[in-house]
Structure 1
Amino acid sequence: MVRFSYDVNQHLVELQASDWTGLEQLCVDGQVVSRKFSFSPQSEHRFQLSNGECCRCQLISDPTCNQTLCRIYRQEQLIASLKHSEANKYLYGYQLLLLAGLSCLLFAYI
């Protein structure tokens, strides 16, 4: 699970993403404003602040260097680029192994 928090114009923006389940959730001031499942290396969440400003968060994962970026835009201007590095460099390999194992079990069941 990776979490990013940033203050955008006095609004707390929090993005949480699970690399195991693919669930991504964006909260503004504690309220969920966007939720999706994504195993893509890049995803985007759009939201609007109470003053009407349009914002978006980009989540970018790079498994080669075990780093996840969260870019936050307000009115199409980049206002923050946050980084999260994984301590476990083998995590991506474990995910692929788990996915392959679950696929084999599913095919064996069918």
Structure 2
Amino acid sequence: MHRFKDLEIWKQSRKFCTDIYAVTSKFPESEKFGLTNQLRRASVSIPCNIAEGSSRSSNKDFSRFLEIAIGSAFEVEAQLLISSDLGFLKPEELEALILKLQAIIRMTSKFRSTLS
């Protein structure tokens, strides 16, 4: 069992959620139940799956939850790109978020490979 609060992947993905909440608070009100909700839920899914997986008794189970977290990260990336296409994000906001997200994906993938 791992202490999720000590994991850098959890810390970074938790901070990333704050970034997502901040940027989506500027989205149009008409997106409250659309992209705003989707982005927030998918971004929260990343640290939550890391936390839940850390409670599992086997590395195989933890690895599966990390895979789900990575899937959520890719979902967030797609939604960020769509948000940018719709003009909800400035190019520099998109770039900064994508860079943070890619770092989280790399770190999580690398950590996951150590569990095998």
Larger relative CO (CA 8 A, sep 6+): 1 or 2?
2
Pairwise TM-score range, normalised by the shorter structure: 0.3 to 0.5
TM superposition score normalised by structure 1: 0.36
- Higher-Rg structure is 1
TM superposition score normalised by structure 2: 0.35
